[in-house]
Structures are given as C-alpha cells and as structure tokens.
Amino acid sequence: MITLNEFIIEKQHDFPEANGELSSLLGSIVLASKIVNREINKAGLVDIIGSTGIENVQGEQQQKMDLFANDVFKRALAARGEVCGIASEEDDQYVVFDNKSGANNKYVVLMDPLDGSSNIDVNVSVGTIFSIYRRVSQRGDPTALEDFLQKGNQQIAAGYVVYGSSSMLVYTTGNGTHGFTCDPSLGEFYLSHESIKIPESGYIYSINEGNYLMFPAGIKKYIKYCQEIDNKTNRPYTSRYIGSLVADLHRNMLKGGIYMYPSTSNYPKGKLRLLYECNPMAMIIEQAFGSATDGKTRILDLKPTTLHQRVPFICGSTKMVEFLQTMLS
Ligand code: AHM
Ligand code: MG
C-alpha cells in the first residue's frame, strides 16, 4: 500500500533539481481536498448545500460549497511557502500572496475548487480541478497576470479530485497520470491506478444533447454517427453525461470514450474555462495517452488572453477525437 504522500516524495526523485517545493504544494492540495471531501460527505445533514444567491464573475450562481471549497484551498495554499498567487473560478481577479515570503514563492495555482457544484444537492459526483505553473515574473516581484496566462503546455502539474462513490485524486507532473483512492476510515489516499492508459478508442460519447439544435454542423453529424447501427464498429455507442466534467472525464479515461462541450449559439466560445478546467484536464488526458482539442488546435497549445476565457472542448480517446476532427473540417 503506497500513500499519495509517499508517492509524491518518491516521484520527486525523477526531477534531480527538485527541492521539495512542488511536493509540499501538492501536499497542501491533498490536505484541502480531504477537508472538502469530509464536508461534502455531510451534504444533506448540515446547512452546506444550496445557492448563496450570489453570482460569480461568469454570471453563474455560486453554491455555498463553491465558496467553502474556494476558501479551504486558498487557505491551505497560503499557509505554506510555495505559491505566490492563485486564480480561481470563484474569484473575479487573481489573488496575490504579497507578503515578503509570498512574493518570493515560485508557483502559481489555477483552480476550479468545486466543479459541477450544481450536482451536489442531488448527491451526484462533483470535483476539484487544479493546474500548477512556475511563475514567469521574477521571484520577489509582484505576481503578474502573465504568470497565469501561460499556455497549458507549460504546466508543471495538473490534477483533479472526484468526490464520488469513493473519492479519488488523479494527478500528473508530466510523467504519466496516476490515481489514488481515499480510504475513508483512515482519511488517506492510496495508489490504486498507476500509469493510467485511456483506451485508444471507446464506445461512450458524452455531451449535453439538450443543446443539439445549437451545435455546429460537424458535432451534429458526429452525434448521428455515434447513434447509427453498425455491428462492425459496435455502434450505436453509449451516451453517458453526468454534467460534472471531472466525473464524466474520469469515467471516459478509464473506460474509453469522448467528451464534448462544443460552441453553442448561447455559448459561442464554449462553456468550459481554458485555464482551470480544460488545460489541466487536457494535460491529465494526454499524460494518459489521450487527446484534447478545441476542434482545430491542441488545447495545450492555445495562448490564453484572459483569466476566465472559455473554449470549445473535445477530449478523450485519441482515435475518437481524431475522427471527430475530420467531421469538423
Ligand atoms: P461549473 O464549474 O460552474 O460547475 O460548470 C462546469 C460544469 C462542468 O462540470 C460540466 O461538464 C458542465 O458545466 C455542464 O454544463 P451543462 O449543464 O451546460 O451541460
Ligand atoms: Mg467548473
């Protein structure tokens, strides 16, 4: 039995120049996710579910648990000396740790503290997504917007936690994607899925089909392809959509499949956010030998222009993603 913390330390040896800062940063994330996990498990028993009545910068209703998770992750990251700034789905602007030690720290973290939070009231899986970069501004200088607007291919690490029937933390530092399952009686994550490999192709497609009439023609064509009857190619495929990005991608990564949140007429740039949803998920999927694209360009090669930028997102088994792309061109 290897614990997540043991694994993080062991993997540190893969980077001869590493001095333990990233391991410690990941340790903060693990701690915060345990706290959030504990609170989510009480949903329904104490007054932590439901909306706050406040809208975030994206015009979406914030749930009480969104704000709780945001606060827990920020405090856990601020308490140790590795992070100089954080950008979160729940905060309009990035937050700078500008005390003397904060300004000297090396990393920035971008996160969606509670993804799919509208699902929490009905006991469906939700998740946390995080993305870590080395700052590009000088240590000691104020943290700058350019530290956050880096391409996804510059990520040092990325991960997610899925709070589900069991809770799992999945992360990558660019040497494969690894999964850890929480033993609730010990409050410890144990290595359960080492070096995850997504099947090259699969039989699951995941998309909010309620938006069908608002999809681009190529996406409509692909959905019809998925629904056609053809024994040789195992079609029709199975449609599975939870409405929690983390849970939908987690399932497709383990079983093989494709996830799509394309542009729609009411979200012309897609719904999902590049910096703290698509980039980390793309790195995790690529490190598991899958693919992620906006339909034309590899997600990790897109140059971000704003913190809360949205992007069409297609992600999953490489052969399925490549085939869909031929229908989009
Ligand atoms: P959120 O970060 O506000 O929870 O929104 C992101 C979520 C994703 O988890 C999910 O894939 C998507 O929104 C679902 O959107 P829709 O309800 O439009 O299908
Ligand atoms: Mg989200």
Q: Whole-angstrom Cα distance, residue 115 to residue 291?
A: 21
Q: Whole-angstrom Cα distance, residue 69 to residue 56?
A: 14
CA torsion 8-10-15-16 (nearest 10°) is 140
Lining ligand 1 with CB less than 6 A are: 60, 89, 112, 115-117, 208, 243-245, 248, 271
Domains 4-193 and 204-328 share a fold: no
Give burial (CB, 10 Å; 0-12/13-18/19+) of 155. buried
* Alpha carbon of 268 to ligand 2 centroid (Å): 17
Q: Domain 4-193, what fold?
A: Fructose-1,6-Bisphosphatase; Chain A, domain 1 (3.30.540)
The preferred substitution site among 89, 248, 261 for testing ligand 1, maximizing ligand atoms within 8 Å of CB, is 261
Q: Provide the edge-to-edge strand list for the sheet that holds 177-183.
A: 95-96, 83-88, 107-115, 126-134, 157-163, 167-172, 177-183, 188-193
Residue extents of the structural domains in the chain = 4-193, 204-328
185 strand-pairing partners: none
* CATH number, domain 204-328: 3.40.190.80
* Alpha carbon of 245 to ligand 1 centroid (Å): 6
Query: Looking at the CA of 116, which ligand is closest?
Result: 1
* Alpha carbon of 38 to ligand 1 centroid (Å): 23
Q: What rounded mean pLDDT belongs to the chain? A: 93
Cα-trace Rg, the chain: 19
Tokens of 13: 């040896």
> 149-194 pLDDT, tens per residue?
999 999 999 999 999 889 999 999 999 999 999 999 999 999 999 9
Beta strands in the chain (DSSP E): 51-55, 61-63, 83-88, 95-96, 107-115, 126-134, 157-163, 167-172, 177-183, 188-193, 204-206, 238-239, 258-261, 291-293, 313-316
Per residue of the chain (329 residues), what is the pLDDT tens digit? 999 999 999 888 877 677 888 999 999 999 999 999 998 888 766 666 667 677 777 777 677 888 999 999 999 999 888 999 999 999 999 999 877 777 889 999 999 999 998 888 888 999 999 999 999 999 989 899 999 999 999 999 999 999 988 999 999 999 999 999 999 999 999 999 999 999 999 999 999 999 999 999 999 999 999 999 999 999 999 999 999 999 999 999 999 999 999 999 989 999 999 999 999 999 999 999 999 999 999 999 999 999 999 999 999 999 999 999 999 97
Q: Which residues surround ligand 2, an ion (CB under 5 A)?
A: 112, 115
Q: Kindly list the distances between the CA atom of residue 181 and the CA atoms of 186, 252, 282, in Å, as whole numbers in the listed order.
A: 11, 17, 21
> 208-257 pLDDT, tens per residue?
999 999 999 999 999 999 999 999 999 999 999 999 999 999 999 999 99
What is the β-pairing status of strands 238-239 and 204-206? parallel
pTM: 0.94
Q: What SS3 string covers 14-55?
A: CCCCCCCHHHHHHHHHHHHHHHHHHHHCCECCECCCCEEEEE
